[in-house]
Amino acid sequence: MIQKRKVLSLVGCLMVVGLIASLISGCAPSGNGGDGDGDGTVTPQYGGELTFASTADPLYFDDAIGPHAYVTGPYQCLWGGDWAKGIAGGYGSHDCDWFVRGEINRLEYKTGKIAESWDIGDDYIEFYLRDGVKFHNKYPCNGREVTADDVVFSWERQMTLDTSYFKTSYPYLAAAIEISAPDEDTVRIDCPAEYMAELISLIGYVYILPQDAIELYGDLNDWERAIGTGAFTLEEYLPGSYIQYEKNPNYWGTNPVGPGQGDQLPYLDSVKVLIQPDISTHDALFTTGKSDIITADYDRAEQLKTLSGVQYNRFLDGAFKNVIYMRTDKEDKPYHDVRVRQALQLAIDNQKIVDQYFAGEAESLYWPVYPCTEYAGAYVPLEDLEDDMIENIVEGTSISVADLFGYNPELAQELLAEAGYPDGFQTEIVYSTAIYIHEDVIAMVQDMWAEIGVDLTLTPVDSTTHTVTHYLRSFDDMLYATFSGVGTYFKGINWQGTSMFNASYVDDPTLNGYRDQMLALYPDEDAVDQIHAEMLPYLLEQCYVMQTAAHYTYVFWWPWLKNYSGEGAIGYYGGASSWTPYVWIDQDLKEEMIP
């Protein structure tokens, strides 16, 4: 029987629920969120503070100095995700969910932010800036309007600074593009046609910062210098304690849909992020109503679901999900042979992991694209792979691609014997000790592989060492690590090139051909989806990574948080700052529920 360690116990936390005497009864997944009544008659309220907890301090406040994902608060890009195309409290078009946390990068779901509109050609993009977009009212900008020169300056920093993620990860693109301002309201980016798909996908990754402030300070990596155009300004930061954001009274945005259509945004007066590394403290804060929203894994979710009145949604994304990488590039390694890779996948009892460890709250097919609304066309469900046959996988035996994700140790042993390893082999896997789930799952794999003679040595390392190992791809045999988000699917980052996410060192001519087709078709995303789905049976047959199981994640919120439906990020790397302008707090209900 698989044993599972609990990350924490909520028994003590749940004892305080009695203090919340007036909670409304019942708890169920909320598909719409809405205004609370669902009839469109409730007028959104201004005021109040949204509070949630984070496990760590931000590392950077300038996205040309460090990774973009750390500085989502006060900043905006030329475009971003379209709130109205999501659920939007039950009033959006619901073309997408926006549950996935910061990985949705589809052009069809974009809307203008600092740019109001754009024109995409074969080798250029022209952005037409929105009138009235102002920087925060901080020195030296003092609330001045954004100019085309600010946009050009921000992009050129990304292209030239060695600390920029853009330059370090896409040096060929940074060197190839040219940014100019034909007039005061227009920004043009010229780019070789072969790189246009990658350029388009990265526009939501470059924040527009004020040129005069950076020229004065050198950079904006001090939190007090954080000046952007977002709905909230960063007003106070106490490391290890909290980050305080206040309403930007000069924000340009209005509510695009619902009972509050046309309202000036944001509704909230402030947003407070509590820095709490201890997950049990997150649960206690939420349970007592001191935070409004919380994200939890399947294990903690079972306890949080018992809270009376709580609303929640379940989703699958790439955060904290791992695969097993192998040095397929080394000819002297067993996994250079596809038969060995297939044997290793066949020897993992995924269904047992899903059922007994994750209590059914997981999927066994999740790489390189997992099931979600936004990328359904690029994903192929396991049952649809049953007709994709692998002929003569061993002489006289055929199985489907779907069968690779079943459990067949007998066939696995036959494959190993055909590949020259009748008694198995020894190997090593490097993994991080930071997340207990990863430790548990890889220990189960060790036991399962032992049944076919594969002696797997587990090499635990700390999080920093693991990150560096992954980034440099500096391991000898195997690595258990995360993969690139779903928004990169058409670029093939997980199975092509020198990125850390191609940690199996894949260089497959067939896959490279599919990638060329997808890049040539982009931005016709429906056509790209079709090519990707056509490619998946071949990619999965090759077993360039071992898939174990990816668990579902839950987001919970109290019913006084209105116009919220479980959104993770509105757009690419949007973070909480991307949905906070649209939500509001029913302060009377909150006072009623927490006397």
Which top CATH class is 322-551? alpha beta
Mean of pLDDT values over 259-276: 96
Mean of pLDDT values over 498-516: 96
Query: Which residue from 167, 178, 186 is spatially nearest to 63, judged by alpha carbons?
Result: 167
Q: How far apart are CA 286 and CA 293, in angstroms?
A: 7
469-492 in b/e form (b: 16+ CB < 10 A) is: bbeebebebbbbbbbbbbbbbbbb
The answer to whether residue 355 scores a pLDDT higher than 60 is yes
Identify the pLDDT of residue 8. Answer: 34
Comparing 142 with 9, the larger pLDDT belongs to 142
Query: Residue 407 has what DSSP assignment?
Result: -
The answer to whether residue 3 scores a pLDDT higher than 60 is no
The answer to whether residue 5 scores a pLDDT higher than 60 is no
pTM for this prediction: 0.89
| Residue with the two structure tokens 């600010």 | 150
Q: How far apart are CA 169 and CA 166, in angstroms?
A: 5
Which of the residue ranges 125-134, 176-185, 300-309, 339-348 would you say has the lowest mean pLDDT? 300-309
Identify the pLDDT of residue 360. Answer: 94
Identify the pLDDT of residue 577. Answer: 79
**In the Cβ-directed half-sphere of 513, how many Cα atoms lie within 13 Å?**
7
Identify the pLDDT of residue 69. Answer: 60
Query: Which residue from 114, 120, 115, 116 is spatially nearest to 190, judged by alpha carbons?
Result: 120
CATH 3.40.190.10 fits 45-316+554-593, yes or no: yes
The residue ranges of every structural domain in the chain are 45-316+554-593, 322-551
Q: How far apart are CA 480 and CA 503, in angstroms?
A: 10
Mean of pLDDT values over 159-187: 93
The answer to whether residue 24 scores a pLDDT higher than 70 is no
- Give me the chain's average pLDDT, please: 91
What percent of the chain has a predicted confidence (pLDDT) above 70? 92
Q: How far apart are CA 311 and CA 355, in angstroms?
A: 25
Domains 45-316+554-593 and 322-551 share a fold: no
Identify the pLDDT of residue 14. Answer: 30
Q: How far apart are CA 471 and CA 483, in angstroms?
A: 11
Mean of pLDDT values over 136-145: 97
Mean of pLDDT values over 38-43: 63
- Partner residues linked to 247 by β-bridges: 232
- Partner residues linked to 295 by β-bridges: 555
